[in-house]
């Protein structure tokens, strides 16, 4: 059919732009009634934006008309912008409507009757505010079954990425993608995705989030487990043997906005809870763009402050899954396979007491003496515990920041001062004599213009630019033991592990957190002893597992455990992602 004139039989006389608000049945009945009342040819045209799976609502759609809670009838709708599940009819679009929508089906275009054609349509609700999504042209006579069935929801998001930049992953045949997804107004989230070096079609899918708060995912990627590393006194990356993408497809995500290469005035956060909606939106959009992974289970890996962000993100995803299944929100279910947190900060009440115990008695060297321990123990009981209790009860910024300051001033500062007085080589992230930290040459490397151009980065790199007001809000003092417990109860594979020479989030505290997880087998797990964990016959760690909860203490490893013990780390993670669980080799 040639769309080059405006006769009474022209396809352009009747146009529906579908969307996502209101009752599907109600909207369809209104449309059906209105269509049937019109004298027209069978080839009247419907422009339908893709509708969310599971009969959910589309995220954002342009329609002409307003349909809300059955207040308006379809025949009265004309020039307003709103949303509706199947669409609103526009007869001879008014000038104001035509000015707001750039039709990609124009006069002179040819479309095939009874066949769908995927096109792009641009809509603008405000001056200089244009957002794109994919729509379909569907020629039909108004029957419901002609509407697209295998469809996904329309979004405001913009996707931009570079494929196979040649940066970092240089293994032949291994694909990589780096770029941005917009997750809100002026909120652009950076990702760097590496396919597995082995069997990417069937390999597990893992997402990595930095600690911090507000640390870039590239820190962990370059210093610990990405496809490449920048060695001491080097300016160029070297291929890493024990990379996380050896047996997994790995998605590194910079969150919150402001960390790493993520940027924008939108998406600024002041708490761990604020981060999760943006991450969930990102994942929804990423799975849309990389459809070959949409049915793959996702694992969430993190470290350090990830004891907050990891449980919160997974918990949020599980909540959204329930809402999607109940038809309350739009989106695709994201099946979570595993949560891994190394040397992580979950619960200040448990871990501050553990910090005291670890500072006095550990496998390497004491940081405090018995006298100071007893003094600090009194302060812990009389100052820290009451303030943390108040934070738990009120959750306010004032009370939680006060609790944070209480344990920082009364516990942490005295321990740090004592350790520095005792040892000139003391490093809190690796307390063994001569302790070391991973090289940080990646910062200068990622700030190079040629590297940024190659990978598609739009802003300069910052390792820890996403802290914002997170610490000032007292977020550090909030416990995420409840979220962690819910995740274990839901059957997600959970690995809590730690390098045993780290003071910051030491193995004593993380083990006590694991033992405190509230689930049906809590008593069995907490009473179970750690047993040797071997790699090729050599003991490298101790561990214990009960069903889907696992704990491991890795010897001679500091805060960023993977850098200190890469082969052990890779074995632990590979086993976690398998169906066999943890075991010595």
Interval 122-146: pLDDT, tens: 444 344 544 443 333 333 333 223 2
Q: Does residue 221 contact residue 560 with C-beta atoms inside 8 Å?
A: no
pLDDT one-digit tens code per residue, 543-559: 999 999 999 999 999 99
Query: What 8-state DSSP symbol labels residue 382?
Result: I
E-assigned strand segments in 174-288: 176-184, 187-194, 205-209, 228-229, 238-239, 249-253
Confidence of residue 117 (pLDDT cuts 50, 70, 90): very low
Q: What is the mean pLDDT of residues 176-202?
A: 93
Provide CB contacts within 8 A for 249, sequence distance 6+: 193, 194, 195, 196, 200, 203, 204, 205, 206, 293, 296
User: Residue 531: is it exposed, middle or buried by C-beta count within 10 angstroms (0-12/13-18/19+)?
Assistant: exposed
DSSP states along 110-123: E--TT--EEEEEEE
Confidence of residue 386 (pLDDT cuts 50, 70, 90): very high
pLDDT at position 518:
97
Q: What is the mean pLDDT of residues 293-309?
A: 95
- Alpha-carbon span 299 to 305, nearest angstrom: 17
User: Residue 394: is it exposed, middle or buried by C-beta count within 10 angstroms (0-12/13-18/19+)?
Assistant: exposed
Closest to 229 in 3D by CA, of 242, 246, 216: 242
44 is catalytic: no
Q: Is the pLDDT of residue 99 over 90?
A: no
Structure tokens at 173: 């045949």
- Alpha-carbon span 381 to 105, nearest angstrom: 71
Confidence of residue 154 (pLDDT cuts 50, 70, 90): very low
pLDDT at position 541:
98
Q: Is the pLDDT of residue 107 over 90?
A: no
Comparison of pLDDT for 462 and 571, the residue scoring more: 571
- Alpha-carbon span 545 to 488, nearest angstrom: 12
pLDDT at position 471:
84
State the residue for tokens 């059957």. Answer: 491
Q: Is the pLDDT of residue 53 over 80?
A: no
Confidence of residue 55 (pLDDT cuts 50, 70, 90): very low
pLDDT at position 31:
46
State the residue for tokens 């670890």. Answer: 358
Q: Is the pLDDT of residue 58 over 80?
A: no
How many C-beta atoms lie closer than 10 Å to residue 290's C-beta?
18
Q: Residue 252 — φ and ψ, nearest 5°?
A: -90, 130
Q: Is the pLDDT of residue 523 over 80?
A: yes
- Alpha-carbon span 317 to 320, nearest angstrom: 5
pLDDT one-digit tens code per residue, 15-35: 444 433 333 444 445 544 544
Q: What is the mean pLDDT of residues 32-53?
A: 39
- Alpha-carbon span 148 to 137, nearest angstrom: 10
- Alpha-carbon span 549 to 554, nearest angstrom: 17
pLDDT one-digit tens code per residue, 478-519: 999 999 999 999 999 999 999 999 999 999 999 999 999 999
Structure tokens at 47: 């422009």
Strand pairing category for 249-253 and 298-304? unpaired
CA separation, residue 563 to residues 253, 437, 568 (Å): 20, 9, 10
pLDDT one-digit tens code per residue, 348-372: 999 999 999 999 999 999 999 999 9
Q: Give the total residue count for the chain.
A: 585
Q: Quote the percentage of the chain above a pLDDT of 90.
A: 62
Q: Does residue 430 contact residue 502 with C-beta atoms inside 8 Å?
A: yes
State the residue for tokens 């169906």. Answer: 579
pLDDT at position 463:
87
Rounded (to 5) percent helix, strand, coil in the chain:
35, 20, 45
pLDDT at position 466:
61
Q: Does residue 504 contact residue 428 with C-beta atoms inside 8 Å?
A: yes
Q: Does residue 216 contact residue 259 with C-beta atoms inside 8 Å?
A: yes
Q: Is the pLDDT of residue 191 over 90?
A: yes
How many C-beta atoms lie closer than 10 Å to residue 90's C-beta?
23
Q: Is the pLDDT of residue 204 over 80?
A: yes
- Alpha-carbon span 316 to 314, nearest angstrom: 5
Confidence of residue 186 (pLDDT cuts 50, 70, 90): confident
Q: What is the mean pLDDT of residues 144-152?
A: 27
pLDDT at position 37:
52
Q: List the catalytic residue out of 64, 178, 304, 340.
A: 304
375 is catalytic: no
Q: Is the pLDDT of residue 311 over 80?
A: yes
pLDDT at position 158:
75
pLDDT one-digit tens code per residue, 555-571: 999 999 999 999 999 99
304 is catalytic: yes
- Write down the H helix ranges in 462-539: 481-489, 507-516, 522-527
Angle 564-478-375 from CA coordinates, rounded to 5° = 75
Of 4-18, 409-423, 534-548, minimum mean pLDDT range: 4-18
Q: List the catalytic residue out of 157, 475, 559, 569.
A: 559
Closest to 210 in 3D by CA, of 549, 464, 524, 37: 464
Angle 543-547-550 from CA coordinates, rounded to 5° = 30
pLDDT at position 470:
86
How many C-beta atoms lie closer than 10 Å to residue 237's C-beta?
21
Q: Is the pLDDT of residue 533 over 90?
A: yes
- Alpha-carbon span 117 to 252, nearest angstrom: 34
pLDDT at position 33:
54
pLDDT one-digit tens code per residue, 225-255: 999 999 998 999 999 999 999 999 999 999 9
Q: Is the pLDDT of residue 339 over 50?
A: yes
The DSSP H or E segment spanning 424 is none
Q: List the catalytic residue out of 502, 545, 550, 569.
A: 502
Q: Is the pLDDT of residue 116 over 90?
A: no
Q: Residue 578 — φ and ψ, nearest 5°?
A: -85, 180
Q: Is the pLDDT of residue 219 over 80?
A: yes
Q: Is the pLDDT of residue 289 over 50?
A: yes
Cis peptide before 256 (omega within 30 of 0): yes
pLDDT at position 468:
65
Q: What is the mean pLDDT of residues 284-304?
A: 92
312 three-class SS: helix
pLDDT at position 558:
97
Confidence of residue 47 (pLDDT cuts 50, 70, 90): very low
Q: Is the pLDDT of residue 329 over 90?
A: no
pLDDT at position 152:
26
pLDDT at position 483:
97
Contacts 24+ apart (CB under 8 A), 27-31: 27/67, 27/74, 27/84, 27/85, 27/86, 27/87, 28/85, 28/86, 28/144, 30/67, 30/73, 30/74, 31/74, 31/86, 31/87, 31/88, 31/89, 31/142
pLDDT at position 64:
28
Closest to 430 in 3D by CA, of 229, 564, 572: 564
Comparison of pLDDT for 415 and 111, the residue scoring more: 415
């Amino acid at each position: 059919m040639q769309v080059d004139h405006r006769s009474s039989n022209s396809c352009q006389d009747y146009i529906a732009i579908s969307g996502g608000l209101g009752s599907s049945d109600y909207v369809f009945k209104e449309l059906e009634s209105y269509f049937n009342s019109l004298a027209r040819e069978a080839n009247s045209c419907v422009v339908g934006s893709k509708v969310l799976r599971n009969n959910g609502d589309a995220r954002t759609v342009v329609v002409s008309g307003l349909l809300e809670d059955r207040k308006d009838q379809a025949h009265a709708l004309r020039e307003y912008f709103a949303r509706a599940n199947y669409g609103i009819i526009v007869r001879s679009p008014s000038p104001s409507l035509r000015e707001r929508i750039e039709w990609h089906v124009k006069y002179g275009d040819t479309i095939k009757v009874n066949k769908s054609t995927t096109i792009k349509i641009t809509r603008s609700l405000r001056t200089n505010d244009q957002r794109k999504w994919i729509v379909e042209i569907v020629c039909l006579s108004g029957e419901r079954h002609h509407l697209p069935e295998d469809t996904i929801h329309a979004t405001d998001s913009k996707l931009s990425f570079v494929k196979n930049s040649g940066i970092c992953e240089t293994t032949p045949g291994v694909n990589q993608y780096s770029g941005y997804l917009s997750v809100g107004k002026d909120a652009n989230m950076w990702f760097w995705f590496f396919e597995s070096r082995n069997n990417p079609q069937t390999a597990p899918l893992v997402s990595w989030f930095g600690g911090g708060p507000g640390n870039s995912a590239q820190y962990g990627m370059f210093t610990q487990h990405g496809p490449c590393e920048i060695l001491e006194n080097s300016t160029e990356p070297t291929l890493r043997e024990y990379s996380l993408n050896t047996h997994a497809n790995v998605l590194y995500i910079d969150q919150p906005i402001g960390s790493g290469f993520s940027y924008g005035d939108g998406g600024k956060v002041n708490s761990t809870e604020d981060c999760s909606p943006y991450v969930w939106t990102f994942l929804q959009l990423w799975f849309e763009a990389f459809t070959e992974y949409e049915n793959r289970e996702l694992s969430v890996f993190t470290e350090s402050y990830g004891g907050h962000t990891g449980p919160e993100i997974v918990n949020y995803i599980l909540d959204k899954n329930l809402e999607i299944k109940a038809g309350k929100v739009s989106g695709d279910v994201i099946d979570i396979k595993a949560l891994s947190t190394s040397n992580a900060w979950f619960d200040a009440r448990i871990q501050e007491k553990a910090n005291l115990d670890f500072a006095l008695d550990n496998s390497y060297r004491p940081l405090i003496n018995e006298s100071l321990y007893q003094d600090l123990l009194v302060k812990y009981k009389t100052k820290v515990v009451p303030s943390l209790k108040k934070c738990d009860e009120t959750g306010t910024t004032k009370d939680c920041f006060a609790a944070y300051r209480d344990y920082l001033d009364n516990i942490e500062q005295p321990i740090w001062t004592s350790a520095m007085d005792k040892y000139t080589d003391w490093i809190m992230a690796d307390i063994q004599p001569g302790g070391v930290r991973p090289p940080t040459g990646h910062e200068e490397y990622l700030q190079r213009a040629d590297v940024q151009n190659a990978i598609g980065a739009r802003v300069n790199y910052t390792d820890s630019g996403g802290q914002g007001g997170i610490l000032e809000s007292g977020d550090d003092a909030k416990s995420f033991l409840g979220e962690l417990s819910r995740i274990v109860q839901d059957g997600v594979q959970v690995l809590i592990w730690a390098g045993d020479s780290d003071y910051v989030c030491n193995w004593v505290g993380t083990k006590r957190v694991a033992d405190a997880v509230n689930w049906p087998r809590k008593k069995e797990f907490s009473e179970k002893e750690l047993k040797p964990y071997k790699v090729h016959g050599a003991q490298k760690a101790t561990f214990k597992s009960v069903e889907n909860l696992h704990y491991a203490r890795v010897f001679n490893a500091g805060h960023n455990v993977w850098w200190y013990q890469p082969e052990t780390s890779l074995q632990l993670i590979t086993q976690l992602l398998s169906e066999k669980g943890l075991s010595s080799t």
